[in-house]
């Protein structure tokens, strides 16, 4: 049984991952600052559900803290031995990063560097970093491979994620750390953050409000179901454990579904899953947005055994089954 720290563990992906790790028999410390980027009550609800998980008793601990606070992190690392860090905490979102670039740099770059430095100081070798498909920039054709040039990010958020990858490479090279950088492609599913497109669209459709659609609806995203992402994270960590402990390594892996969906088609599928008609409000393309994301997952399949199971139609049905009862409970007097 390993002891794993999951940063951002009360968030969307993090809470799903903590539940999976507990179910696999590991001790998990869920580290999160419960910030107000979106309603903190959502993370509190995630934590409540985590503590009620059948496998969580005696295995799950919540630690509230900020990855920018090096003193707090050092106290955490000093408290007891840690086998691995799975670092998902970040200030998310492409468009907000344009308005708050300094904040994004502070959290996503300095926070990641703080964690790597603590791993160096306290001899934690295994580190999984949650990166993003946004590092690929404004490409117009897919699929995107890990060997592609990522030197031209088009948003501060993307730049911070690429910076995190570079620091991971440096620490692996200098301090024999074993690191996997995972580029997530548009994660969705039950519990999705309210600011992300599928959840935002579902909320607006259920309220009879207009959906802001940026561009002509032809932009494409490689939507990836959250359980498939969690499986990829667990597989990447397992892969890190298999190598020699005296050799550093830093590898990048795409985690995506490899089947991009046009925005207009996503809206039609969501209408069908929810049983609501969408009222579209067409808007110009936004700065920082990219025309397409599409993961080449051959490396992840070969090295990690990554094999996404949930297609977009099935995934949206799962999302709707989670979302619709919540809308009903809110609207009921």
Q: What is the pLDDT of residues 38-71, one digit of tens each?
A: 999 999 999 999 999 888 888 999 999 999 999 9
Residue 60, classified by CB atoms within 10 Å of its CB into exposed (0-12), middle (13-18) or buried (19+), is buried
- Going by C-alpha positions, the residue among 171, 186, 162 that lies closest to residue 256 is 186
Cβ neighbors of 144 (< 8 A, separation 6 or more) are: 133, 136, 254, 293, 294, 295, 296
CA distance 12 to 323: 14
From 157, 171, 188, 225, the catalytic residue: 157
* pLDDT confidence bin for 331, thresholds 50/70/90: very low
pLDDT above 70: percentage of residues in the chain:
98
Q: If you count them, how many residues does the chain have?
A: 333
CA distance 26 to 60: 9
- Answering whether pTM is above 0.85, one says yes
- Poorest-pLDDT segment among 47-61, 199-213, 239-253, 318-332: 318-332
CA distance 170 to 75: 24
Contact of 33 with 10, CB cutoff 8 Å? no
Phi, psi torsion values for 275, nearest 5 degrees: 75, 30
pLDDT at 74 over 50: yes
> Domain coordinates of the chain in residue numbers?
3-188+225-256+294-308
H-run or E-run covering 31:
strand 27-32
157 annotated active-site = yes
- For residues 277 and 141, the model is more confident at 277
* pLDDT confidence bin for 285, thresholds 50/70/90: confident
* pLDDT confidence bin for 90, thresholds 50/70/90: very high
Q: Could you say which of 3.30.70.1400, 3.20.20.20, 3.90.550.10, 3.40.50.720 is the CATH number of the domain covering 3-188+225-256+294-308?
A: 3.40.50.720
Instruction: Convert the pLDDT of each residue in 255-268 to its tens digit.
Output: 999 999 999 999 99
pLDDT at 289 over 50: yes
Instruction: Convert the pLDDT of each residue in 133-170 to its tens digit.
Output: 999 998 878 799 999 999 999 999 999 999 999 999 99
């Amino acid at each position: 049984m390993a002891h794993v720290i999951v940063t951002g563990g009360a968030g969307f992906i993090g809470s799903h991952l903590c539940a999976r790790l507990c179910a696999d028999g590991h001790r998990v410390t869920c580290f999160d600052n419960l910030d107000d980027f979106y309603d903190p009550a959502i993370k509190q609800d995630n934590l409540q559900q985590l503590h009620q998980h059948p496998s969580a008793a005696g295995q799950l601990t919540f630690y509230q803290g900020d990855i920018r606070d090096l003193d707090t992190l050092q106290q955490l690392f000093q408290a007891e031995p840690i086998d691995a860090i799975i670092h998902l905490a970040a200030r998310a979102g492409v468009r907000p990063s344009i308005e708050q670039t300094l904040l994004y740099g502070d959290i996503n770059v300095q926070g990641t560097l703080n964690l790597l430095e603590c791993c160096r100081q306290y001899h934690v070798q295994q580190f999984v970093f949650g990166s993003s498909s946004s590092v690929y920039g404004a490409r117009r054709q897919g699929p995107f491979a890990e060997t592609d040039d990522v030197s031209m990010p088009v948003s501060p958020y993307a730049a911070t994620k690429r910076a995190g990858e570079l620091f991971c490479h440096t620490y692996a090279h200098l301090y024999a750390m074993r690191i996997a950088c995972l580029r997530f492609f548009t994660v969705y599913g039950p519990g999705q953050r309210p600011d992300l497109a599928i959840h935002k669209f579902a909320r607006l459709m259920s309220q009879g409000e207009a959906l802001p659609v940026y561009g002509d609806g032809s932009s494409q995203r490689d939507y990836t179901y959250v359980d498939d992402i969690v499986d990829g994270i667990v597989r990447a960590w397992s892969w890190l454990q298999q190598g020699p402990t005296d050799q550093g390594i830093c590898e990048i892996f795409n985690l995506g579904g490899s089947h991009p969906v046009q925005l207009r088609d996503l809206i039609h599928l969501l209408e069908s899953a929810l049983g609501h008609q969408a009222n579209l409000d067409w808007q110009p393309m936004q700065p920082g947005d990219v025309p397409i994301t599409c993961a080449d997952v051959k490396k992840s399949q070969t090295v990690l055994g990554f094999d996404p199971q949930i297609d977009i139609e099935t995934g949206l049905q799962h999302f709707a089954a989670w979302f619709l009862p919540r809308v009903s409970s809110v609207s009921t007097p």
